[in-house]
């Protein structure tokens, strides 16, 4: 059974303020909690139905974690999913990780991604294509927002994501590795040689790449649109789509 | 000024039931309404602030359309955007369009896309890459859901989208053009010859391509993931990302 205080704690974690205050975030559903258990993250508490507990999801070699058995009705009370799915875990926020030298790596640099679903999808895609890390502008949507965690489908437990002053990061690193960005009148991606390392800038959903970041881009990429029909053509691609296509092209040219 | 009845009408159109009853859907914001005005769609009514009206967005050769001048406060009352943006149009639902022969065309077939943001993004991406049309399973999310219209960034006014019984559609057409679908253990997309026509199946966000559709797929495609690290790797790509990568590959091999 879930106590009043536990209920209050879980619900408070829907807000960033309380995630930071308690140092915890939420991972929900069988798949995500399995990923959390497989990861290097510490888990604070698990709320689960009999069904989940009896299935034996807890790895034998895992440190002790408190599992609170709750009813389906209780789970529905704390779940934000359309269909509550057996289990909800409170996971400890990781402590700051060192942001390494970008040489020899592929880094996605997110210039103010605002939509949690987009951020989660970008993390999942980067994980799929073996991108090494993500560097996000400090005012991007927060990583531990439940919608980001959910949309990442667990990739948030594997992909290193750093929040930092991206202008400083670029001014420190833009001379050392190529910096790619999708812009109008760039090199045609169909002909481009991506190479084996670099920073790929992904712009904001509405405003694209910001004026402060543009000067750092050393390789301008254009993803060609089809010739416009009589009614015109889409003016741009969604930020996570453009990012995914570049990740795909990196791996198409240089499988890993 | 907006009347009580107009206010009631606009708010009712947030629900599919009333969209069908009134034969209208909502397009909001300067960009989307501009796209609607450029399109072949009929516009029933426009609610706009002085700012929008005085800018002269209405094309001179456009048939008469009723423009109701409203205040910023009134616009905020009827807007579903985070930041209300000058204008909201009520657009007439198009009447049924004939679903043509897929020969010589590229068709995206959506096998139960549920998320309105995903559907909008797929339409926008398909428009960008010059895909000819989209065929959606009847139980997919509705095209005129305001979130679909918004996420499409206006491409919904250009891209033909048909809702139909996709099993019947496939059984009629799968012998005539290649049917591509992303599946495990398919041909590696890095080596595949896409050709110049075909149906590309995009599966459901959670369940992938349904069992009823799988037998129709004649070209199984795999988008290779990077080799898994010590913590594993993402298990799949988001449906709209996988779809976008196939659209990209079609145009990479055969620019249009």
What is residue A252's predicted lDDT score, i.e. its pLDDT? 94
Closest partner residue to A128 among B190, B233, B240, by Cβ? Answer: B233
What is residue A99's predicted lDDT score, i.e. its pLDDT? 85
CB contact under 8 A, A227 and B124: no
Region B159-174 average pLDDT: 94
| Mutation for A interface: B237, B240, B246, B247, most A CBs within 10 A | B237
Region B164-175 average pLDDT: 94
What is residue A12's predicted lDDT score, i.e. its pLDDT? 95
CB contact under 8 A, B226 and A128: yes
What is residue B235's predicted lDDT score, i.e. its pLDDT? 87
| Residues in A touching B234 (Cβ below 8 Å) | 124-125, 127-128, 153-155, 158
| Residues in B touching A245 (Cβ below 8 Å) | 244-245, 248
| Residues in B touching A240 (Cβ below 8 Å) | 241
What is residue A63's predicted lDDT score, i.e. its pLDDT? 61
| Residues in A touching B226 (Cβ below 8 Å) | 128-130, 251, 255-256
Closest partner residue to A234 among B39, B128, B248, by Cβ? Answer: B128
Q: Is the pLDDT of residue B86 over 70?
A: yes
pLDDT per residue as tens digits for the range B194-208: 999 999 999 988 888
**Domains along chain B with CATH numbers:** 4-92 (3.30.1330.30), 106-253 (3.40.1280.10)
pTM score: 0.85
Neighbours of A227 (CB within 10 A): 9
Q: What element of type H or E holds B220?
A: strand B219-222
Nearest Cα neighbor of B81 from B180, B149, B156 is: B149
What is residue B192's predicted lDDT score, i.e. its pLDDT? 93
Min Cα separation B5/chain A (Å): 33
Asked if residue A119 lies in contact with residue A139, where contact means CB atoms within 8 angstroms, the answer is: no
Region B205-233 average pLDDT: 90
Q: How confident is the model at residue A233 (pLDDT cuts 50, 70, 90)?
A: confident
Phi, psi of A107 (to 5 degrees): -120, 135
CB contact under 8 A, B256 and A130: no
Mean pLDDT of chain A: 92
Q: Is the pLDDT of residue A97 over 80?
A: no
Q: Is the pLDDT of residue B63 over 70?
A: no
Identify the closest residue of chain A to B254 by CA–CA distance.
Answer: A226
Q: Is the pLDDT of residue A98 over 90?
A: no
pLDDT per residue as tens digits for the range A44-76: 999 999 999 999 888 776 667 889 999 999 999
Closest partner residue to A190 among B128, B223, B252, by Cβ? Answer: B252
Q: How confident is the model at residue A157 (pLDDT cuts 50, 70, 90)?
A: very high
| Residues in B touching A124 (Cβ below 8 Å) | 234, 237-238, 241
Residues with Cβ within 8 Å of A71's Cβ and at least 6 positions away in sequence, in order, are: A1, A49
Any idea what the Cα angle at residue B151 is, between residues A154 and A157, rounded to 5°?
A: 10
- In angstroms, the CA B60 to CA B57 distance is 9
Neighbours of B212 (CB within 10 A): 12
What is residue A61's predicted lDDT score, i.e. its pLDDT? 64
Q: Is the pLDDT of residue A197 over 80?
A: yes
pLDDT per residue as tens digits for the range A122-139: 999 999 999 999 999 999
Closest partner residue to A238 among B124, B223, B231, by Cβ? Answer: B124
Region B210-216 average pLDDT: 95
Q: CA torsion, points A41, A160, A113, A183, in degrees to nearest 10?
A: -160
């Amino acid at each position: 059974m879930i106590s009043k205080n536990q209920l209050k704690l879980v619900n408070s974690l829907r807000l960033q303020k309380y995630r930071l205050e308690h140092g915890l975030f939420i991972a929900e559903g069988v798949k995500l909690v399995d990923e959390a258990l497989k990861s290097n993250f510490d888990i604070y508490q698990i709320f689960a139905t009999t069904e989940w507990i009896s299935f034996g999801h807890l790895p034998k070699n895992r440190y002790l974690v408190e599992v609170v058995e709750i009813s389906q009705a209780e789970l529905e009370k704390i779940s934000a999913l359309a269909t509550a799915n057996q289990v909800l875990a409170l996971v400890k926020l990781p402590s700051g990780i060192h942001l390494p030298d970008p040489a020899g790596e592929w880094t996605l640099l997110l210039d103010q991604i605002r939509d949690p679903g987009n951020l989660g999808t970008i993390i999942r895609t980067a994980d799929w294509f073996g991108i090494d890390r993500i560097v996000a502008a400090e005012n991007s949507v927060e990583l531990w927002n439940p919608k980001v965690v959910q949309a990442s489908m667990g990739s948030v437990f594997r992909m290193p994501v750093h929040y930092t002053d991206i202008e400083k990061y670029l001014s420190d690193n833009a001379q050392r590795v190529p910096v790619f960005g999708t812009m109008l009148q760039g090199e045609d991606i169909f002909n481009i040689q991506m190479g084996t390392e670099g920073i790929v800038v992904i712009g904001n959903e509405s405003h694209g790449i910001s004026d402060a970041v543009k000067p750092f881009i050393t390789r301008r990429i254009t993803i060609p649109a089809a010739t416009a029909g009589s009614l015109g053509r889409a003016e741009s691609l969604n930020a996570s789509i453009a990012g995914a296509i570049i990740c795909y092209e990196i791996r198409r040219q240089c499988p890993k």
